[in-house]
Amino acid sequence: MRERRTDDVRVVDAFCENLTPQDLFRRIGHERPDVFGMNCSTHTFLPAIRALEGIHRILPDTTLIMGGFHATFTAERIVREYPFVDYVIKGEAEEAFPRLIECIEAGRPPADVDGISYMDDGHYVERPSTVMQDLDALPFPARDLVRGTKYGYFHKNIRLTFGKFTTVCSSRGCPFPCTYCSCAAYSKRRWRARSAENVVRELEALDADGYETVVFVDDNFTLKKSRVEEICRLLRARRVRMRFYCEGRVDNAPPWLLRTMRRAGFDVIYFGVESPSKHVIDYYKKGITAEKSRRAIEDAKRARMLVITSYIIGAPVESKEDIEQTIEFIRETRPHGVQVNILDCLVGTPIWDDFVRAGIVGPEDWKRNHRIYEYREDGLTREMLEAFQREAYAAHVEGWKNRAGLLDILRLLRSSPTARRVIFGNLLRFSSLRKMSGGAVPEVEEPWSTGDATTVTPSTSPSRAHGTPSGAPITRFDSLRGP
């Protein structure tokens, strides 16, 4: 936005700056922007909409714009039900946002701006969404706009990054039809990637600016193996010395690629395993097997990478015995970190669409996140699923409390500087091995969950970035993403 225009652009990361709603309103009231935009997911829609409502009360002439996954799927409902939201940008905003601003400044209707929804004299207007085909044409993110905020990468309560940290997105979209994920619907199952040269030029600039660690937030970084290989080749040729973390699929991470990535500085890989039970995986349309997951975990370990695996419990087709198999799989495979999620029914996902067609969720249920235990009738209650969740984390710890686990840790400490920093850097933070391995930690009360007239409980998404102003305390540790 700033690169394309001459506007004065500001970024307010209210959550990561630990702003209360009142802090946010004071900040925006002081800045008095002509246009204010806010992103939201299903988890954060209600606090986002109430924040916009509060800003509208303070600055009624400010144009308010909403975007993000949830807004993309519910654009018409938003602009009809919340008239203070002037526009919704559906999908990617790099082209729509500047063009919309030009129309607002010129005082003309944005009838030719693709990718937006709005109300015009009581009539709903929806322009078709577009996607950028040439991602290399985008300028690199203006990270100086959040330079005063200290970000970090956390897994549960474990700090995984030290020093200057940021994220990079080298591709967009995902071609896979996983039923629990809204990415396929958002991207229409189209995958687009930046060139290896473009990605490495950004990484070179970050390296020169003193960044030490980068997390790739691609939905599927390893999808095109030849591109990953070329990124790694360029990183080594240009002596970029940062450390990298990424996500990948277990069926798309062969041993040779993992070794290549590790030599180029990729220290941590995150695999979505979800479940070892075939019928559960089939329900999710994940397209993997327990054996592929087991092999990918072992291959990544042999490549001397830190391995984090995630699981989902609570699928409608999943029994107690299936969940127990998941727990045993965690114990046997001994990933270095685990994340166990209770299934969410997110707007825009195939699971959500199935629930709507079946009449399980109603027409007014689109505003909030839904946990699967709200709809199960087989006795798997919230309390039971949360107990299984705690048991899974405990099993992860138990899997390392043996001679083989100890030897693995010693080998990792010898071969991985990142492992040494993670382990020794967290010793003072945690009082037990259980906590260090990602065990359940009580949530910290946050300012956005005060329950007053303008706030509701914040996101509990497992894929959310948190940070704080330099020197301020970090209040939440369930993050997997960053700025």
* Structural domain includes residue 159: no
Same domain, 115 and 203: no
Instruction: Supply the range of the domain harboring residue 233.
Output: 173-208+220-386
Looking at the predicted structure, is the pLDDT value of residue 482 above 70? Answer: no
Domain boundary among 359, 386, 413: 386
* Structural domain includes residue 467: no
* Structural domain includes residue 437: no
Same domain, 198 and 306: yes
Looking at the predicted structure, is the pLDDT value of residue 452 above 90? Answer: no
Looking at the predicted structure, is the pLDDT value of residue 376 above 60? Answer: yes
- pLDDT score of 1: 55
pLDDT single digits (tens) 84-102: 999 999 999 999 999 999 9
Same domain, 230 and 325: yes
* CATH code: domain of residue 89: 3.40.50.280
Residue of 483, 482, 473, 467 lying closest to 429 (CA atoms)? 473
Looking at the predicted structure, is the pLDDT value of residue 322 above 90? Answer: yes
* CATH code: domain of residue 325: 3.20.20.70
Q: Measuring CA to CA, how many Å separate 363 from each of 149, 182, 389? A: 39, 19, 31
Q: Are 28 and 36 in contact (CB under 8 A)?
A: yes
Same domain, 316 and 230: yes
CA dihedral for 342, 348, 351, 357, sign (positive or negative): positive
* Structural domain includes residue 114: yes
pLDDT tier for residue 6 given thresholds of 50, 70 and 90: low
**Buried (b) or exposed (e) across 110-140, using 16+ Cβ within 10 A?**
beebebbbbeeeeeebebebebeeebeebee
Residue of 483, 480, 411 lying closest to 159 (CA atoms)? 480
* Structural domain includes residue 6: no
Q: Are 455 and 189 in contact (CB under 8 A)?
A: no
Give the span between the Cα atoms of 65 and 35, in whole angstroms. Answer: 8
Looking at the predicted structure, is the pLDDT value of residue 481 above 60? Answer: no
Average pLDDT across the chain, whole number:
86
Same domain, 87 and 194: no
Q: Across residues 54-77, what is the average pLDDT?
A: 96
- pLDDT score of 416: 84
Same domain, 96 and 183: no
Same domain, 198 and 310: yes
Question: Who has greater pLDDT, 154 or 11?
Answer: 11
* Structural domain includes residue 13: no
Say which range, 101-105, 154-158, 254-258, 430-434, has the weakest mean pLDDT. 430-434
* Structural domain includes residue 35: yes
Same domain, 192 and 116: no
Same domain, 72 and 187: no
CA quadruple 472, 477, 482, 483: dihedral, nearest 10: -30
Most confident range, picked from 348-357, 360-369, 451-460, 464-473: 348-357
Residue of 483, 331, 352 lying closest to 400 (CA atoms)? 331
Domain boundary among 126, 160, 193: 126
Let me know how long the chain is: 483
Same domain, 117 and 188: no
Domain boundary among 358, 386, 414: 386
The reported pTM is: 0.85
pLDDT single digits (tens) 17-62: 889 999 999 999 999 999 999 999 999 999 999 999 999 999 999 9
Give the span between the Cα atoms of 369 and 365, in whole angstroms. Answer: 8
Domain count, the chain: 2
Give the span between the Cα atoms of 245 and 265, in whole angstroms. Answer: 9
* Structural domain includes residue 416: no
pLDDT single digits (tens) 274-316: 999 999 999 999 999 999 999 999 999 999 999 999 999 999 9
| Ramachandran sector of residue 340 (left: φ over 0; alpha: ψ -120 to 50; beta: rest) | beta
Identify the burial level of 61 via C-beta atoms within 10 angstroms of its C-beta, where 0-12 means exposed, 13-18 middle and 19 or more buried: exposed
Same domain, 249 and 339: yes
Same domain, 53 and 177: no
Q: Are 289 and 330 in contact (CB under 8 A)?
A: no
pLDDT single digits (tens) 208-252: 999 999 999 999 999 999 999 999 999 999 999 999 999 999 999
